[in-house]
Amino acid sequence: MTVEALTLTLVVITFLIYIYIGWRSKVKDTSNFFIAGKEIPAVANGAAIAADWMSAASFISMAGLISFLGYDGTIYLMGWTGGYVLLALLLAPYLRKFGRYTVPDFIGDRYYSNAARAVAAIATLFISLTYVAGQMRGVGIVFSRYLQVDIVIGVLIGMAIVAFFAVLGGMKGITWTQVIQYSVLIVAIIIPAAAISLKLTGNPIPQLSLTFSDIAQKLSVLQIELGMTEYLAPFTDMTAINVFCVTLALMIGTAGLPHVIIRFYTVKSVRAARWSAGWALLFIALLYTVAPAIGVFAKYNLITSLHDTPIEQAESYNWASKWEETGLLQLDDKDGDGILTFSGDEDMNNEVTIDPDIIVLSTPEVANLAPIVIALVAAGGLAAALSTASGLLLAMSSAVSHDLYYRIFRPEADEKQRLKVGRIMIFLAVIIAGYFGINPPGFVGEVVAFAFGLAAASLFPAILLGIFDKRMNREGAIWGISTGLAFTVIMIALMRSVQVFGTEAPIIESFFGIQAQGIGVIGAILNFIVAFIVSRRTAAPPEEIQEMVEDIRVPRISEKK
């Protein structure tokens, strides 16, 4: 059976499972739709959190970024994992103790203001739409290669599937679907990683083979010989200040992601929320310790497979010809000597152009692994993208139907009306996400980094100050969120104006050396400064709000919420 046939078989089987779970989990009330009735076991919630958080950027794009950026690419590894620890230890237990549905719910009640709730809901929509665009792009890439359909068609198929189980089952259906999707994606990353590790180093454990073999050093030497930057050298593709800012933006952005935070409301108690965080960290670590190894293995394999190879021979490789058809791999004999030269993307003499998003997906083929392994990786990429997309769609749905429609405009709305609005919003969000998936402002990992920057600049400061600064008031929160969000959106648009506005060159190259992926840090700093100044120059929060903040932080011997 061909790779394409096996892939189609696995994709159909996994999609049928997702659809079945969505159908069996269909809900009729808002508690189950938004927070799964607070009945999810801690270990299952941990797996769902891991699947929700480990998006297409983690599965498809992160290893590619590490592969091409080398040392500098580890900013994504450090930022995302460090951010999850920050969220799990510093914020999640307190937010669960507060006991609401969503992040805008917390901000609206903590800052005793529907205006603050509305601003937080708008920020949630900006973050989630940006984030979900990367997921839809990942779905399109997988379909375009392995099912031989156009990326547009692939995105449309993904939109239909995720909309089905999200609309029917809400958080309950999404949670149990994500448990299955985590199982698929982790198996899909570990098996090929172990196989290629054994093939290149003789050790089937990728983490150990990367640490105790000389494969990374061999890659560094190979890149130097080809006129590329040394793989292990720091600050070759990014300046030190940019590395710091991108890492910090990803870290505090993780701690402000509304679709991840909402998962801590789906368990019975604060204790269960803490256990969920622990399980999720374990599940996340399984992938995040493998990604650097895959990045090294994949880059080494690609260079040795394509460099100094006759172009006719390279194009005869089944994997190369298939990826060329997608437009994500380009082989161009510029000097006409019939031999390919692989010398890095910035080199004018380079004759091999590779999109970083194909690294993980192409690695099993380049390594000549079994077709079933190749198909499994494709199914894993889809699982990673769809699991996060479903969580983001629900975050957007709850921001509109619960925080805006019910809590602000129609507080008298009944369960049926709120569910109807929530489901309509999922359909609308899917359509918008599909558009940006077809017309993304960057590759998957880059688009997702923008979403983290928006979360860092808008929601994270308001959440942190809402928990640990009882003097912070509604005026400070509203002005802080608005300032941080507006600044970051404008700066990203100006720096990515080629994709956003169609300009010939970026309107702004950087902000004092900080690029678009790290600009959220400056937005967060502005948010903190504005919020602090405004709150100290306006009236203090009511006494009952200050007492509520104190109560959230005080541990209890027995927590029944």
What pLDDT, on the 0 to 100 scale, is given for residue 70?
A: 85
**CA separation for the pair 398, 392 (Å, rounded):** 10
Treating both helix axes as pointing N-terminal to C-terminal, what angle do 74-86 and 291-306 enclose, rounded to 10 degrees? 170
Average pLDDT on 48-72 reads: 81
Separation between Cα atoms, residue 399 and residue 121, nearest integer Å: 5
CB atoms within 10 A of CB 92: 25
Q: Which of 392, 309, 383 is nearest to 158 (CA)?
A: 383
**Of 234, 369, 233, 349, whose CA–CA distance to 301 is shortest?**
369
pLDDT at position 314: 85
How would residue 485 be classed by pLDDT, with cut points 50, 70 and 90? very high
pLDDT of residue 89: 81
Average pLDDT of the residues in 510-534: 95
pLDDT > 70? residue 552: yes
DSSP letter (8 states) at residue 331 = E
Between CA 58 and CA 41, with CA 376 as vertex, the angle to 5 degrees is 60
Q: What is the pLDDT of residues 213-265, one digit of tens each?
A: 999 999 999 888 888 888 888 888 788 899 999 999 999 998 888 888 888 87
> How far, in whole angstroms, is CA 427 from its chain's centroid?
21
Phi, psi dihedrals of residue 338, rounded to the nearest 5°: 80, 0
Q: Please, are residues 494 and 506 in contact by the beta-carbon 8 Å criterion?
A: yes
3-state secondary structure of 296: helix
Q: Is 511 helix (H, G, I), strand (E, B) or coil?
A: strand
Q: Is the pLDDT of residue 558 over 50?
A: no
Query: Comparing C-alpha atoms, which of 419, 447, 421, 449 is closest to residue 433?
Result: 447
The CB-side HSE value for 188 (13 A sphere, CA atoms) comes to: 30
Q: Which two tokens stand for residue 158?
A: 């993904």
Is-contact 134 144, C-beta < 8 A?
no
C-alpha span between 182 and 472 (Å, rounded):
39
Element holding 86 (H helix, E strand): helix 74-86
User: Can you give the three-state secondary structure of 8-26, one letter per residue?
Assistant: HHHHHHHHHHHHHHHHHCC
* Phi, psi torsion values for 533, nearest 5 degrees: -65, -50
pLDDT in the model for residue 535: 97
pLDDT tens-digit series, residues 105-136: 899 999 999 999 999 999 999 898 888 877 77
pLDDT, tens digit (0-9, with 9 covering 90-100), for 415-444: 888 888 888 888 888 888 788 777 765 555
Residues 265-298 as b or e (16 or more Cβ within 10 Å = b):
bbbbbbebbbbbbebbbebbeebbebbbbbbbbb
Q: Which domains does the chain have, with CATH numbers?
A: 3-99+119-236+262-298+369-457 (1.20.1730.10)
How far is CA 353 from each of CA 180, 257, 330, 470, 505, rounded to the nearest angstrom? 35, 33, 5, 53, 21
Q: Is 354 helix (H, G, I), strand (E, B) or coil?
A: strand
